[in-house]
Structure 1
């Protein structure tokens, strides 16, 4: 992709307003908290203190909107406390350029590190740095610094208290995560009706698994419908796949296939009904036709955010400045306008970065305009510094880019190694059904999902990068993706038919499991070293089986399909190497 096209695509992405379900009640609660803090502070302490407390309440409310499984009051308190500490040190060092610059560098570095802990921590930390730059322009001393910090933390406390006193959709994030997982499986069941080997996106199940990780105290308060459904959903997926796959199920055409399509459609309807009930906290209403059918007798965002931030800031500052210049709002009207802008930002923050930035910029203008001093300079400086910051960020990313394209082979190797371990663990279970392999199978499957998601995200980012491929073309990546997805699907089908504990073992499975493990680990190493992988050990194992195959059809057939998928990986990487 050329630089011009890449910039055009990222600019379009950054300025796009996404269609998302809005939460006006939650946005109104956040705006109410901000209004209470601003009104109380204005009445008792004046505009300067009101601005500080407003920043605390504003940032704490933003924290409660993040996609996190932690309790919302905890997020609000953490945001208020961290912002209070940041601004306190900012006040103390603001009069000394050298100290303030050192503090700013340290805080920025720490905020970057916190992104590794998760997007919620990263957003809170990054916002603290930005707000510290704004509030440091207010009059300061040690006493007033402590007072402002206390008021900032008080704003976070107010938002946390409102979340407790005015709850909206308790466990809503966990409900949505589990409902999305069930809805994804419903869609998967419907797609299998027309494509027996349709791929499955594991992200919803991974998200639901993260949402289910709660503390013992939360587990005691968790609604009954959030218990156990995720584990059942994970067990349903391989059953749906094996039901649709003609390799282990019914023929591709005929009355048996029509019955399979009927069962898949019914499964999709039941899963959708369960998802709806969990999302809204309502009793499950199963569609009668479905019940009858189942009753049988048997980091790329840099450019996009730079464009969005500058565009949104420019529009927000322009509109707010026009209102201030022509309407001349007083202190209290400016405070009210700031609250309105905050409400609009809370309401629209999930629809895109640009839309929220418009109201953030207007919010700052109205908030700092409560005193009526320095407004022109504030507006000019904010526009200039925003433009300068955006250009510097884009320039830095161009000079020292974190491109995903050169790392694609590493991501592919990670997925190959993970899916190879998964297939080896599944196969080893056939050799020792009385062992303790089931937990290992589940852990290996989850690791495979994480590796596959990391690969797919890297491919998506690399698609829009204005660089040539370095050893892995788009065609090779697509072919290798298809091959490893097929490899994982075959292993999943083998898992769906694991023998029960105490069943007769298949001794030949032990040799296959060890061969799979060694071959895929060595193959992953060869992929990282930009060599085409070879599967000689695995091929020798199957050659031995050709004379005396193991007494298990699925195991014999599955091993052959696994080798075919690995050969396709080799073909894709060989063609890519020759293309260089």
Structure 2
């Protein structure tokens, strides 16, 4: 639907073709078996599920697409059951949008999908419901999403297959290595599967413009585990507990190489055995044993995922039900704007009035930076999409399957221009929605001007609720500080990794990283200037924060000046892995979608210590690497002081 706020993914022609085929199948089923609006609901659900499936993820999309199908069915059920009652429909739409807004507290994907469901709800035709029409539209919406799930099963996406196979091989080999090390402490770790995994990751780097955040640990984590296994094996001759840890680790790694619930259960049981064995090792080996335990837990989480339970989701949402939370403020803004938009449509009898609520759905996000700029940009993109689609509908008057063909054509253009920015994406999704509504042939009379007026009203509502319910200034400052921290550490990680892996175009890559950090610094200073506070504590914190990040920038500049043309071929694998582990720890992450970016100070400090240990193997002439170790120490010292 038009209100679908998911980002169209970078094109993968096979997966895109599968997704578009699902839209056509769902539209055909809706036209054949559905009542008024059912074909739009079925095709819209297929579009949303298809876009969800195309979001890059190392794990398969089957589970999330299936869940999305039923969520879209719930939205259609509520919309068709209440659409003929003006006041009730307004209340239901506002309540759904409030719940969609707070779902950003669970994850960005959950919030986007729920908001997309709101588009199906607000476009329900205002006809008297019957049991057959409501049930039919609901089942067809679920069917539209499940068609995409079925096509995924029949035609799985191949982008990540080679990487998953390489990861399976690496963990299987590590399981065998751990068992061998437990039996004979002098054996080593087979490096070939880890090399294959690194090569597979390098190929994906060339295929994918924006990798998922969790993906960066795919090849680094098995290498980190291999180093820890080797280190533990060196301590085993005098410590029987270490041998038990290695045996238990072998069981976990073998299970991680498997698939299915049985493998996940074996992995979790093995983790308990590792923890029990870690409690029996000598005091001198406790740190290594706990490090291995933590790495194995990361491997299990990356391989099998963490099941999102209703209590966990409820707890995550509950944590944002505070006055200062940007997630709660977004939910209130979204519910207010959409509720007002639906009310104007129903009680002012505005032609194409559903575009008021749809525009608000498209424009609003739980953002605290560039809020008005992005709102205006999305509203402008929506208007462009309206104009383009209206010109076509004025000439061709597409309905039914012909309208579905135009939906597919516009989505194809959207996928092809997926890297062109949110304005272009808004225009593509808007044009697709115009044709989606025409699939059922139930659009009300009116001209392009009527649609544009509705878009302007919706855009004005979006901007008005932002002005009436602005984010707390301290929240905004914390967000800007987090964004500055994120860009600074990404700049630092880029420079650090260049010492051991090199860069294809080092000048361009480092300049781009610095430019992002520079823009984030400007935004941070603007937020700091707009924060009115007489707090001496705040002023001291700002001074400390600026000083620490200035020190990081200085260290990065020194590293750039010492960066060798090519990484030294004499670097040991242990040193390279230690640097990779440090860069991975440095990148950090948000604790939740509404929280500022943070780093784990303990993990960064531990990774820096690993580099110092590995640096003992450096040759006397390896000046560049010694500079790297020294500057990493300064970067770590600066960051540890501001982790809280």
Calculate the TM-score normalised by the size of structure 2: 0.47
Q: 1:347 to 1:113 in 2, by over 3 A?
A: same
The one of 216, 222, 229 equivalent to 1:208 is 216
Aligned residue runs from structure 1 range 192-207, under 5 A: 207=215
CA distance in 1 between partners of 2:10 and 2:471 (Å): 33
Question: What displacement does 1:93 show?
Answer: 1.8
The one of 520, 530, 538 equivalent to 1:468 is 530
Q: Secondary structure at the match of 1:135?
A: coil
CA distance in 1 between partners of 2:608 and 2:199 (Å): 23
Q: 1:367 to 1:410 in 2, by over 3 A?
A: closer
Structure 2 residue 579 is the aligned partner of structure 1 residue 495: no
Q: 1:221 to 1:410 in 2, by over 3 A?
A: closer
Name the counterpart of 1:148.
137
Q: Is the 1:37–1:158 Cα contact (8 Å) retained in structure 2?
A: yes
Structure 2 residue 19 is the aligned partner of structure 1 residue 30: yes
Q: Secondary structure at the match of 2:453?
A: helix
Aligned residue runs from structure 1 range 450-529, under 5 A: 462=524, 468=530, 471=538, 477-483=545-551, 492-498=607-613
Q: Is the 2:39–2:439 Cα contact (8 Å) retained in structure 1?
A: no
CA distance in 2 between partners of 1:20 and 1:73 (Å): 16
CA distance in 2 between partners of 1:371 and 1:564 (Å): 60
Q: 1:102 to 1:378 in 2, by over 3 A?
A: farther
List runs of 5+ in structure 2 lacking aligned partners: 1-6, 168-196, 206-210, 223-251, 261-366, 486-516, 533-537, 556-585, 587-600, 616-625
CA distance in 2 between partners of 1:370 and 1:205 (Å): 37
Q: 1:45 to 1:304 in 2, by over 3 A?
A: same
Q: Is the 2:44–2:436 Cα contact (8 Å) retained in structure 1?
A: no
Q: 1:81 to 1:393 in 2, by over 3 A?
A: same
Name the counterpart of 2:391.
322
The one of 380, 385, 407 equivalent to 1:311 is 380
Name the counterpart of 1:357.
426
Q: 1:478 to 1:563 in 2, by over 3 A?
A: closer
**Who wins on radius of gyration, i.e. which is larger?**
1
Q: Secondary structure at the match of 2:123?
A: helix
Q: Is the 1:48–1:138 Cα contact (8 Å) retained in structure 2?
A: no
Name the counterpart of 1:429.
none
Name the counterpart of 1:383.
452
Deviation per CA, 1:113-170, whole angstroms, max 9, x where unpaired? 1111111111100111122101244663332111100000000110011111112225
CA distance in 1 between partners of 2:147 and 2:636 (Å): 61
The one of 400, 406, 421 equivalent to 2:469 is 400
Q: Is the 1:483–1:568 Cα contact (8 Å) retained in structure 2?
A: no
RMSD: 5.1
Q: Is the 1:24–1:347 Cα contact (8 Å) retained in structure 2?
A: no
The one of 114, 120, 129 equivalent to 1:131 is 120
Structure 2 residue 92 is the aligned partner of structure 1 residue 92: no
Calculate the TM-score normalised by the size of structure 1: 0.52
Name the counterpart of 2:258.
220
Point out the more displaced range, 483-492 or 111-120.
483-492
Q: 1:400 to 1:462 in 2, by over 3 A?
A: farther
Name the counterpart of 1:61.
50
Deviation per CA, 1:491-521, whole angstroms, max 9, x where unpaired? 7543323499xxxxxxxxxxxxxxxxxxxxx
The one of 36, 40, 53 equivalent to 1:51 is 40
List runs of 5+ in structure 1 lacking aligned partners: 1-17, 187-202, 223-298, 417-454, 501-553, 571-580
Deviation per CA, 1:1-56, whole angstroms, max 9, x where unpaired? xxxxxxxxxxxxxxxxx999532332221111111221243345477432221111
CA distance in 2 between partners of 1:355 and 1:414 (Å): 25
How many pairs does the alignment contain? 368
CA distance in 2 between partners of 1:19 and 1:44 (Å): 29
Aligned residue runs from structure 1 range 9-24, under 5 A: 22-24=11-13
Q: 1:371 to 1:113 in 2, by over 3 A?
A: closer
Point out the more displaced range, 340-349 or 125-134.
340-349
Name the counterpart of 1:437.
none
Q: Is the 2:8–2:425 Cα contact (8 Å) retained in structure 1?
A: no
Q: 1:567 to 1:376 in 2, by over 3 A?
A: closer
Name the counterpart of 1:340.
409
Q: Secondary structure at the match of 1:220?
A: coil
CA distance in 2 between partners of 1:31 and 1:205 (Å): 27
CA distance in 2 between partners of 1:83 and 1:50 (Å): 13
Deviation per CA, 1:375-413, whole angstroms, max 9, x where unpaired? 543855643343233333323333433267666569979
The one of 66, 80, 101 equivalent to 2:69 is 80
Q: 1:404 to 1:461 in 2, by over 3 A?
A: farther
Question: What displacement does 1:313 show?
Answer: 1.7
Q: Is the 2:34–2:136 Cα contact (8 Å) retained in structure 1?
A: no
Point out the more displaced range, 312-321 or 463-472.
463-472
Q: Secondary structure at the match of 2:258?
A: helix
CA distance in 2 between partners of 1:389 and 1:45 (Å): 30
Q: Is the 1:114–1:125 Cα contact (8 Å) retained in structure 2?
A: yes
Q: 1:149 to 1:349 in 2, by over 3 A?
A: farther
CA distance in 1 between partners of 2:21 and 2:15 (Å): 10
Deviation per CA, 1:255-282, whole angstroms, max 9, x where unpaired? xxxxxxxxxxxxxxxxxxxxxxxxxxxx
CA distance in 1 between partners of 2:483 and 2:72 (Å): 38
Q: Is the 1:369–1:375 Cα contact (8 Å) retained in structure 2?
A: no
Question: What displacement does 1:323 show?
Answer: 1.5
Q: 1:97 to 1:388 in 2, by over 3 A?
A: same
Q: Secondary structure at the match of 1:22?
A: coil
Deviation per CA, 1:349-369, whole angstroms, max 9, x where unpaired? 454222222222222222323
Q: 1:403 to 1:68 in 2, by over 3 A?
A: farther
